[in-house]
């Protein structure tokens, strides 16, 4: 299961494992803990079996790949190690036919971000993809997932998450065989979490800042406050520009712009 820190991939993996346990299936949920920060890509693994799961290693060739994040969903790496004939469930607004991932596997899509925003008010997509998982794989009953959710989120939060799961169950599309046979040439490391300098954090963004230079009054707020130095300043034009590979989409620049010259937009294509 691929996601980004803050989207709840680890919790989602535990909910699946707990739901499976409810149904009498043995399960195991392993998070790959690095130093994941909010926004950084990360992976969690789930094993389901009729017998007790004894191996304690990561899942290297999964049957199913679940992708919580629309930008990570564009990376070939999420399907690269799938078993032949496997399944990938992607959080994206696109139809399965439009997905540009290649290989021998089935593709299903669900717009979990929109569901999460509308039911939870926040882009935490972990539960909003679980309904689709239940429906498409048939591995778990919706009720077991709901029961498991209440264990992790008691009270009102649980109810909201259950609403997200139900909507995702209803809206999930049937999987189709992958249509692209050739993998896209460009490969990005989806495990770019961790310490140190990262190459490209574009996949961290939910929203992307866009500067309207005509409105900009050259106050330098966005430049001085960007934690990632993603805004470059041109002393001649007195205007900023964005280095998108360094931008994590925090929205700080837009928030600090006195004339609203920066807009945070949802770019998915």
Partner 1 sequence: MSERITRAQIPLSEMTITPGSACQGCGAALAARLAFKALGPNVIRHGIPCCPDSVTKTPRTGTVFEGGGALLTGTSRGLKAIGRDDVKAVAFYGDGGTYDIGFQGLSAAAERNEDVLVLTKDNEAYMNTGNQRSSATPKYSMTSTTPVGPKSRGKPRHKKNVPFIFAAHYVPYVATASVGFPEDLIAKVTYAKDLKGFRMIIIQAPCPVGWRYDPAKTIEVARSGVQTGLWPLYEIEDGQNFKLNYKPKELKPVSEYLSPQRRFRHMTEDETAEIQEDTTTKWDTLTRADELGRLII
Partner 2 sequence: MVGNKAAATACKLARVQVASAFPITPQTTITQYLSEMYARGEWDFDFVNVEGELTSQVVVQGASRVGARTFTCTSGPGLLYMHHPMQVTGSGRLPVIMAVVHRGYKGMQPDHSDLMSQQWTGWGHQYVEHAQEILDSLLMAYKVAEDPRVRIPIAVGYDGYVLSYTAEPVEIPDQAVVDEWLPPNKPMPSILPDEVDPSTFGRGWGGGDPQMPWKTHHDAIMGMEDVQKEIMDSFEKTFGRRYGNGMIEEYRMDEADVAIIAMGTIAGTCKAAVDKMQADGKKVGLIKLRSYIPFPNKDFQEWAKKVDGFAVVDRSICPGKGGPVYMKLRDALYDQEEKTATLQFHAGLGGKEVRVHDFKMVGDKILKAAKGEKVEKITWV
Binding region for ligand SF4 (CB under 6 A):
37-38, 209, 211, 216-222, 226, 228, 230-231, 240, 242, 247-253, 256-259, 261-262
Which residues are CB-neighbours of 156 under 8 A, at least 6 positions away? none
Distance CA 246, CA 200 (A): 6
Q: Is 217 helix (H, G, I), strand (E, B) or coil?
A: coil
Q: Is residue 194 close enough to count as binding partner 2 by CB under 8 A?
A: yes
Of the residues 34, 102, 103, 218, which one makes contact with partner 2 according to CB under 8 A = 34
Half-sphere exposure of 216 (CA within 13 A, CB side): 22
CB atoms within 10 A of CB 260: 10
State the residue for tokens 């399907």.
79
Q: Is residue 196 close enough to count as binding partner 2 by CB under 8 A?
A: yes
Which of 70, 240 has the CB closer to ligand SF4? 240
How near is the Cβ of 113 to ligand SF4 at its closest, in Å? 18
Distance CA 216, CA 212 (A): 6
Residues that bind partner 1 in the complex, under the rule CB under 8 A? 5-6, 35, 37-40, 193-198, 200-201, 204, 220, 224-230, 233, 235, 245-252, 254-256, 264
Q: Is residue 56 close enough to count as binding partner 2 by CB under 8 A?
A: no
How near is the Cβ of 51 to partner 1 at its closest, in Å? 34
Which of 120, 250 has the CB closer to ligand SF4? 250
- For residues 212-232, one letter each, b for 16 or more C-beta atoms within 10 angstroms of the residue's C-beta and e for the rest, the string is eeeebeeeebbbeebebebbe
Which of 186, 195 has the CB closer to partner 2? 195
What token pair was written down for 99?
A: 């997905």
Give contact residues for partner 2 (rule: CB under 8 A).
Answer: 34, 194-197
């Amino acid at each position: 299961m691929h996601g980004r820190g803050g989207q709840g991939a680890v919790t989602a993996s535990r909910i699946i494992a707990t739901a499976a346990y409810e149904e009498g299936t043995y399960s195991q949920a392993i998070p790959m803990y690095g130093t994941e920060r909010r926004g950084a890509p990360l992976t969690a693994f789930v094993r389901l079996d009729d017998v007790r799961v004894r191996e304690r290693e990561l899942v290297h060739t999964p049957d199913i790949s679940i992708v919580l994040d629309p930008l990570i969903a564009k990376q070939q790496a999420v399907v690269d190690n799938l078993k032949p004939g496997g399944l990938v469930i992607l959080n994206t607004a696109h139809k399965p036919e439009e997905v540009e991932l290649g290989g021998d596997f089935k593709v299903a899509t669900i717009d979990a971000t929109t569901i999460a925003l509308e039911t939870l008010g926040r882009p935490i997509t972990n539960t909003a993809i679980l309904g689709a998982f239940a429906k498409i794989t048939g591995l778990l009953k919706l009720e077991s997932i709901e029961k498991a959710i209440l264990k992790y989120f008691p009270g009102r939060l649980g109810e909201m998450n259950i609403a997200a799961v139900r909507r995702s169950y209803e809206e999930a599309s049937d999987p189709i065989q992958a249509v692209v046979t050739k993998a896209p040439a460009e490969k990005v490391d989806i495990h770019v979490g961790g310490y140190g300098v990262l190459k490209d954090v574009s996949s961290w963004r939910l929203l992307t800042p866009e500067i309207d230079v005509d409105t900009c009054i050259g106050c330098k707020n966005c430049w001085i406050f960007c934690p990632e130095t993603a805004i470059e300043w041109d002393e001649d034009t007195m205007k900023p520009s964005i280095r998108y590979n360094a931008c994590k989409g925090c929205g700080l620049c837009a928030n600090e712009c006195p004339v609203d010259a920066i807009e945070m937009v949802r770019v998915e294509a």
